[in-house]
Amino acid sequence: MSDSDTHASLAAAIDANWDRQVEWLKTLVGFPSLRGEEAPCQDWIAREFSARGWAVDRYTLADVQMDSLPGHSPVMDTDYRKAVQVVASVRAPHPQGRSLILQGHVDVVPTGPVEMWSSPPFAPAIRDGRLHGRGANDMKSGVCAMVFALDGLRTAGLTPAGDVYVQTVTEEESTGNGALSTLARGYRADACLIPEPTERRILRGTVGVMWFRLRLRGRPVHVSQSETGTNAILSAFGLIEALRGHTRELNERVRQDPWFGRIPNPIKFNPGKIAGGDWASSTPAWCEVDCRIAVLPGMSLASFREELTGIVMAAARQDPFLADNPPEIIWNGFQADDYVLEPGSAFEDTVRAAHRRVAGDEPGEAILPAVTDCRFYGRYYGIPSLCYGASGTGSHGFDEAVDLASIKQVTLTIASVIADWCGTRPA
Ligand code: ZN
């Protein structure tokens, strides 16, 4: 078949499977696959993969030794026996083409108060060509696109001439350890595509990200004598303010960076979760704040941690109680380096060509103040890795939704990437 024949038959195949694809996505979004609760979703996916005749490797993060590998992030209060990962191998007998990893995460972030959603977050609903639900955009849209790209090839009577690995991982939203585990387990390929919802742009760069917990103590007294005690919650405010000030300074320094200097204020700091105190009429004896901050590009994680520690401890010295009872900083979650996809790789050319065939124009590029799993494949294992996926809104917010037409285009683009990168044979 000529290239244009292949493209036309893939387009027809994806069209023919479309209703089934939308139903599949609805089922996938219906799983409340919050952190630690992904197993039923992953088990369903594993069965779906097996039904396609793919060899399925289902394992948990407790099965994989990876503490000492680059990119590993420490965790606490998380049971990795529940963190189920799935890798399906779609092997070409006598492979001739290049191999490819298609990877998507199925973990989703919490919904927040559900009464603020227009419809329940785990009861997917279609309105105006958009599918609504937590994870619909980020990134079950991409998981469904990569699976139905392969289904499209099969419907078109084709099979990849190189090995394809379909990976559904967890922990993308907190550590990246799911992605790391696939590499620790030995999976490799000539390229990796992660269909995160990039609005059909090539993701050129992502910042590094760190999570940490500030743990403070206070001296509790009856509130009627509050002058004689201290208040751990109010003390935490002082540390948060110092970190906000430091963030402004980091955003000044990043202006020099050739990639990340192109977007305004890429270093975001977020005190994202707070707990503390025991009683409304006692000054709080403890406070814990879970924070997320972007890492200054080009800086090692160790030096960045050292700098942050200096900022927190300097602020603590201004607080009469904390000066003698310094807070703890617990590195708990993301310890993620930045990642830049250097222009000019053969794989990027392949994705660009596929986008042009489907969309008729050149894809845009994005540099994001956020993190993806690409860093593991691209930065630590030398596997050209990029994100390219659907369009939607509300990731991590209320009323998350994905544009279904964009998923269809991305599905065809991925099918075209597989055909071009791996080559095809008659099924
Ligand atoms: Zn995502």
Say if residue 88 is in the same domain as residue 34: yes
Say if residue 168 is in the same domain as residue 300: no
Sequence-distant (6+) residues with CB within 8 A of 311 are 242, 243, 246
Angle at 212 between CA 208 and CA 214, to 5 degrees: 150
Say if residue 175 is in the same domain as residue 212: no
Say if residue 331 is in the same domain as residue 389: no
Say if residue 235 is in the same domain as residue 329: yes
Q: Do the beta carbons of residue 423 and residue 97 sit within 8 Å? A: yes
Domain finish residue from 310, 335, 360: 335
* Ligand 1 centroid distance, CA of 282 (Å): 41
Q: What is the DSSP letter of 68?
A: T
One pLDDT digit (tens) per residue for the chain, 427 residues: 677 889 999 999 999 999 999 999 999 999 999 999 999 999 999 999 999 999 999 999 999 999 999 999 999 989 999 999 999 999 998 989 999 999 999 999 999 999 999 999 999 999 999 999 999 999 999 999 999 999 999 999 999 999 999 999 999 999 999 999 999 999 999 999 999 999 999 999 999 999 999 999 999 889 888 888 899 999 999 999 999 999 999 999 999 999 999 999 999 999 999 999 999 999 999 999 999 999 999 999 999 999 999 999 999 999 989 999 999 999 999 999 999 999 999 999 999 999 999 999 999 999 999 999 999 999 999 999 999 999 999 999 999 999 999 999 999 999 999 999 999 999 8
Say if residue 91 is in the same domain as residue 130: yes
Q: What is the DSSP letter of 151?
A: H
CATH number at residue 313: 3.30.70.360
Numbers of helices and strands, H then E, in the chain: 11, 20
Say if residue 386 is in the same domain as residue 358: yes
Catalogue the long-range contacts made by 222-231 (C-beta closer than 8 Å, 24 or more residues apart). Answer: 222/281, 222/282, 223/280, 223/281, 223/282, 223/283, 226/283, 229/283, 230/283, 230/320, 230/321, 231/283, 231/284
* Ligand 1 centroid distance, CA of 206 (Å): 12
* Ligand 1 centroid distance, CA of 231 (Å): 37
Q: Which domain holds residue 94?
A: 3-206+338-426
Say if residue 202 is in the same domain as residue 345: yes
> Coil, helix or strand for 10?
helix
Q: Which two tokens stand for residue 239?
A: 């540390």
Say if residue 190 is in the same domain as residue 60: yes
Q: Within 13 Å and on the Cβ side, how many CA atoms surround 188?
A: 6
171 included as an active-site residue: yes
Say if residue 223 is in the same domain as residue 307: yes
Say if residue 371 is in the same domain as residue 388: yes
Compute the distance between CA of residue 272 and CA of residue 77 in angstroms, rounded to an integer: 17
Q: What is the pLDDT of residue 1?
A: 64
Sign of CA dihedral 4, 6, 10, 13: positive
Q: Which two tokens stand for residue 71?
A: 């990119």
Say if residue 384 is in the same domain as residue 369: yes
Q: What stretches of 173-297 show up as alpha helix (H) in DSSP?
A: 177-184, 232-253
Ion ligand 1 residue ranges (Cβ < 5 Å): 138-139, 196
When divided into structural domains, the chain yields a total of: 2
Compute the distance between CA of residue 396 and CA of residue 138 in angstroms, rounded to an integer: 8
Write the DSSP assignment of 35-49 as a string of letters. Answer: TT--HHHHHHHHHHH
- Pick the catalytic residue from 107, 163, 196, 338: 107
* Ligand 1 centroid distance, CA of 135 (Å): 8
Compute the distance between CA of residue 14 and CA of residue 274 in angstroms, rounded to an integer: 46
* Ligand 1 centroid distance, CA of 389 (Å): 10
Compute the distance between CA of residue 292 and CA of residue 270 in angstroms, rounded to an integer: 5
Domain finish residue from 314, 335, 356: 335
- Pick the catalytic residue from 38, 138, 151, 171: 171
Domain finish residue from 286, 307, 335: 335
Compute the distance between CA of residue 177 and CA of residue 59 in angstroms, rounded to an integer: 13
CATH number at residue 360: 3.40.630.10
Q: What is the pLDDT of residue 354?
A: 98
